Structure 1
């Protein structure tokens, strides 16, 4: 629990500022469009959003520079792809899907360095996905529904993290809530049993 809090900041200031919420919304909408275009996996996007949110909360954005959020989004997605993907698009190829601004490679690389230094090079944070497979194994969900279950959890998680209100929850809580919802959808008859087991796992 302490490890996940190391890379989970307090985001109340972001949610209290409408302009920051809007900037985040625009940035994440672009990130999700690029995900669909390049078929990035869920963890890449979760990492990109994690980097962006942590950078967003730590770095004082200049509201009169609307391109700043877009540049940060490009840099964070590029860094996440380098961490997780086996094939990483060129920086110019990454900027697809109706980008409001297009940045040259040197500008993006400078922003990548700024993100890295701001995040103190902590690029492997604990995320909700970190808990999915572990908890699934502990719950004994090793059936033919296993991969469908994980896929459903990842799909729902991507919907949740797009909403700035969910920035307030630490990864384990977000993972537990996501899994409980999916369990109720897939195996409603065993929902109460799995809920008890899941809560027990989280306490250990």
Structure 2
């Protein structure tokens, strides 16, 4: 059975859920960019800024699904942290964005063909289908075909289950609020050094602080006592 990494704990088989949670925590580092690569290359930082600007423009202009956008940024960050770029070429960010969005669309079963065509015309860069496909292949190779990215969203339901919230409507509100927080901070470069699980836990604690402050202490204690959470990391 193929699991939805945005909501991987939707099944009711307790043993399977345990295996999925263990796998998520064990493998999340494989889906993170290497921060040191960016620190040693101003060129890659410049490309990242331009690429994320283009993706943000596409999201607002064509009302793209937020999770699709999140995946594409994850692909861009991981690619730039692994791929050495020696020459400053203005079109690199554009074709990287097209490939990242295209692959994210395939992973979420979305159709972006018209939106990507419009985006190219607006930005004054047009690549033929062969060039975009070739960039997709390069991106896939750099990411070792790990396209079903483990993101903070993969951990929200698990951490919520630790809170023992009986009010299902409150739990849903907390999850939505945490999701909004995660989407809003994705562009922050500093966050690239934190594991997806830590970002998820922090976003949920922020949502608890906003929506159910009286339960903040117990919620933080529940996350801190979790065997999977790195106790050295401050939440």
Shift of residue 126, structure 1, vs aligned partner: 1.3
Shift of residue 95, structure 1, vs aligned partner: 4.4
Rg (Cα) greater in structure: 2
Quote the residue 1:88 is aligned against: 111
Quote the residue 1:193 is aligned against: 218
8 A contact 1:42–1:154 mirrored in 2: no
Quote the residue 2:171 is aligned against: 146
Shift of residue 130, structure 1, vs aligned partner: 0.4
1:53 pairs, out of 74, 77, 91, with 77
Rounded Cα–Cα distance in structure 1 between residues aligned with 2:164 and 2:60? 32
8 A contact 1:31–1:73 mirrored in 2: yes
Structure 2 residue runs of 5 or longer lacking an equivalent are 1-24, 230-235
TM-score by length of 2: 0.77
> 1:28-47 counterparts in 2 under 5 A?
28-47=52-71
Rounded Cα–Cα distance in structure 2 between residues aligned with 1:202 and 1:38? 42
Rounded Cα–Cα distance in structure 1 between residues aligned with 2:68 and 2:86? 27
8 A contact 1:34–1:96 mirrored in 2: no
Quote the residue 2:158 is aligned against: 134
SS of residue matched to 1:144: helix
Rounded Cα–Cα distance in structure 2 between residues aligned with 1:187 and 1:22? 40
Rounded Cα–Cα distance in structure 1 between residues aligned with 2:35 and 2:187? 14
Cα deviations by residue, 1:14-52 (Å, 9 ceiling, x for unpaired): 145444223212211221232233433332222111111
> 1:58-73 counterparts in 2 under 5 A?
58-73=82-97
For the aligned residue pairs, the C-alpha RMSD in angstroms reads: 2.1
Rounded Cα–Cα distance in structure 1 between residues aligned with 2:138 and 2:70? 20
TM-score by length of 1: 0.88
